């Protein structure tokens, strides 16, 4: 008898040193390590029960999942079944507090929650490193959302990926930062991170991107430990802009930004020039996330909200890792 349904919750995370490129696409093994901050309140809850039946059933935010989305979830359940050595079909329901498909990393939260709920429901009790490796199979960045606070995901060397797991650099309490996110469109992103990474790998700038990763990671690690916002902000901004530069130089070019994305960057840089330490990062979409001190977050939010084209601004802080909630 398998355990009854299990529900787990995980938060999204924001990469400060980006994961952008794979050394193995099937296992989601990254070409380089990355460092992130897990964010409070941008959560996905996943309920999994291996309750038999003819086929897996998926529900996302109350609606049945279809097409590629269902296929991706089915594939992930196959990985869980393989690990657990069983064949039962499952029913899965996820509920998100992250607006989906708008570049606020909902897939990281979803697959971290699914890894925890799915493995428990299948009768496994995995330690956090093994959970991180499992979550990675669903979405690379999900490896980091298993943990709270400041997290490093290691590239690893092994072909089987067993050493490509995330670990905590510092807890959420270590450093009370704010991340202010400006949503510049609610449209789903036209190029997924998977497709974007594949295109980036053919860019003439890709080798330089990969070669620079170790130095960026060392700088970010030291900045986190020292709680040095200027140092962390500058490396996070640089890592994000380098990641986007790789895409710009690809053929065909890859540009995730819209006009408001660029205006947000200028607004933050103007604020910084006037004395407020605030730093920009952007993922595989047009949203802008800004790293700043808690006391400056209201001002940063105000400046971003005033940029034409910004639809919504939300402020978050360091959050916890994945947990079982029912």
Q: What residue ranges bind ligand PMV (CB under 6 A)?
A: 15, 18-20, 34, 105, 107-108, 139-141, 193-194, 283-284
Nearer residue to ligand PMV within complex by CB, 200 or 268: 200
Nearer residue to ligand PMV within complex by CB, 142 or 170: 142
In the complex, least distance from residue 136 CB atom to ligand PMV, rounded to whole angstroms: 8
Nearer residue to ligand PMV within complex by CB, 7 or 287: 287
In the complex, least distance from residue 85 CB atom to ligand PMV, rounded to whole angstroms: 27
Separation of alpha carbons 303 and 307, rounded Å: 7
In the complex, least distance from residue 238 CB atom to ligand PMV, rounded to whole angstroms: 14
Nearer residue to ligand PMV within complex by CB, 6 or 32: 32
Nearer residue to ligand PMV within complex by CB, 2 or 249: 249
Nearer residue to ligand PMV within complex by CB, 5 or 223: 223
In the complex, least distance from residue 282 CB atom to ligand PMV, rounded to whole angstroms: 8
In the complex, least distance from residue 273 CB atom to ligand PMV, rounded to whole angstroms: 27
Nearer residue to ligand PMV within complex by CB, 96 or 107: 107
Contacts of 178 (CB under 8 A, 6+ apart): 291, 292, 293, 294, 296, 297, 300, 315, 316, 317
- Closest to 75 (Cα-Cα) out of 31, 148, 137: 137
In the complex, least distance from residue 195 CB atom to ligand PMV, rounded to whole angstroms: 10
In the complex, least distance from residue 317 CB atom to ligand PMV, rounded to whole angstroms: 18
In the complex, least distance from residue 158 CB atom to ligand PMV, rounded to whole angstroms: 20
Nearer residue to ligand PMV within complex by CB, 104 or 313: 104
Label the pairing between strands 34-49 and 150-153: antiparallel
């Amino acid at each position: 008898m398998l355990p009854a349904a299990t529900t787990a919750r995980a938060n999204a995370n924001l990469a400060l040193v980006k994961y952008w490129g794979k050394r193995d696409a099937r296992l989601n093994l990254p070409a380089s390590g990355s460092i992130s901050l897990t964010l409070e309140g941008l959560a996905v809850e996943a309920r999994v029960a291996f309750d038999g039946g003819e086929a897996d059933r998926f529900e996302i935010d109350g609606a049945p999942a279809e097409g590629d989305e269902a296929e991706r979830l089915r594939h992930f359940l196959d990985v869980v079944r393989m690990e657990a050595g069983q064949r039962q079909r499952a029913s899965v329901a996820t509920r998100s507090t992250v607006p989906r498909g708008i570049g606020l990393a909902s897939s990281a939260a979803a697959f971290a929650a699914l890894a925890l709920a799915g493995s428990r429901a299948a009768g496994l009790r995995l330690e956090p490193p093994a959970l991180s490796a499992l979550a990675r199979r669903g979405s690379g960045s999900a490896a980091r959302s298993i943990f709270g606070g400041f997290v490093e995901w290691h590239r690893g060397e092994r072909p089987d990926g067993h050493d490509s797991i995330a670990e905590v650099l510092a807890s959420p309490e270590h450093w009370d930062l704010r991340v202010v996110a400006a949503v510049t469109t609610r449209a789903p992103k036209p190029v997924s991170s998977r497709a974007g990474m594949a295109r980036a790998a053919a860019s003439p700038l890709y080798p330089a991107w990969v070669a620079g990763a170790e130095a960026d990671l060392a700088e970010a690690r030291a900045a986190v430990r020292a709680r040095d916002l200027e140092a962390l902000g500058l490396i996070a901004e640089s890592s994000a802009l380098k990641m986007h530069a790789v895409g710009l130089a690809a053929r065909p070019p890859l540009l995730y930004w819209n006009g408001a994305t660029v205006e947000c960057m200028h607004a933050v840089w103007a604020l910084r020039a006037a004395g407020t330490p605030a730093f920009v990062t952007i993922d595989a979409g047009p949203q802008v996330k800004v790293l700043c001190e808690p006391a400056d977050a209201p001002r940063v939010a105000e400046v971003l909200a005033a940029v034409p084209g910004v639809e919504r601004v939300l402020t978050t802080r360091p959050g916890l890792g994945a947990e079982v909630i029912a």
